[in-house]
Amino acid sequence: MNYLEEKILTDGKIINEDILKVDSFLNHQIDPKTIRETAKLIVSRFPKADKVLTIETSGIVIAYAVSELMGDIPVVFAKKSKSAINDGSNVYTAEIKSFTRNTVSTVTVDRRFISEGENILIVDDFLAEGNAALGLIDIVKQGKGNVIGMSAAIEKFFQGGHEKIEAMGIPVYCPASIKGFKDKKVIF
Ligand code: 5GP
């Protein structure tokens, strides 16, 4: 069992049959050791990329740790809120349904930060149905970049995202892969 899996067992809370709460080490309070150990596993599977792409907020800390291990490559995060600084013409956009809030939001990445032919690793905190990852993949395609892989720290395999993304020919690796929740316990 890796460090993240142990942390999930000791500190994670199952909210219902769909959602795991990890706000004591990932989504609210952050435990640097968990982030570092998780990033090491991601980089052992995907050692090289030109850039890491994630989505605010919780993906950023993992993406940053991954980038450091890859030799300080740039990290880009898709923004969820509209900015007064741009009028929409200079950004790539995707509509993403939020798993936890059940709302759809438009996320944006400035066109300057995705270049043609760039090899991009997508990183997030969770992979559930895959909507966030699919939106980010779409944004990379709009910028004519290559998605070399997708890594979320934690995946709930039973919610289908992993298979959807792999079916597109994109390798997926998540250091903590949850098969299901049984009797209020996490099953890897
Ligand atoms: P997906 O788009 O793959 O359905 O869901 C992934 C996104 O929803 C992640 O960016 C994450 O923020 C959120 N998410 C999905 N499942 C969970 C969960 O069980 N717990 C938490 N804290 N966030 C989740």
pLDDT of 14-47, one tens digit each?
999 999 999 999 999 999 999 999 999 999 999 9
Q: How far apart are the CA of 161 and the centre of ligand 1, in A?
A: 10
* pLDDT at res. 147: 98
For a ligand 1 pocket test, name from 55, 100, 172 the mutation site with the most ligand atoms within 8 angstroms of its C-beta.
100
> Minimal CA–CA distance to 125: which of 24, 54, 173, 66?
54
Q: How far apart are the CA of 115 and the centre of ligand 1, in A?
A: 27
C-alpha span between 133 and 122 (Å, rounded): 7
Average pLDDT over residues 112-134: 98
> Minimal CA–CA distance to 77: which of 94, 52, 96?
52
Q: Is the CB of 143 under 6 A from ligand 1?
A: no
Average pLDDT over residues 99-119: 95
* pLDDT at res. 114: 98
Q: Whose CA is nearest to atom 8 of ligand 1?
A: 99
Q: Is the CB of 129 under 6 A from ligand 1?
A: yes
Q: Is the CB of 178 under 6 A from ligand 1?
A: no
Report residue 116 as tokens. 């043609």
- CB count within 10 Å of CB 175 equals 22
Is this model's pTM higher than 0.85 or not?
yes
Q: Is the CB of 54 under 6 A from ligand 1?
A: no
Task: Indicate the residue type of 164.
Answer: K
* pLDDT at res. 88: 72
Report residue 29 as tokens. 């309070």
Q: What percent of the chain has pLDDT over 70?
A: 97
Average pLDDT over residues 69-84: 90
Q: How far apart are the CA of 100 and the centre of ligand 1, in A?
A: 6
Report residue 46 as tokens. 């995907």
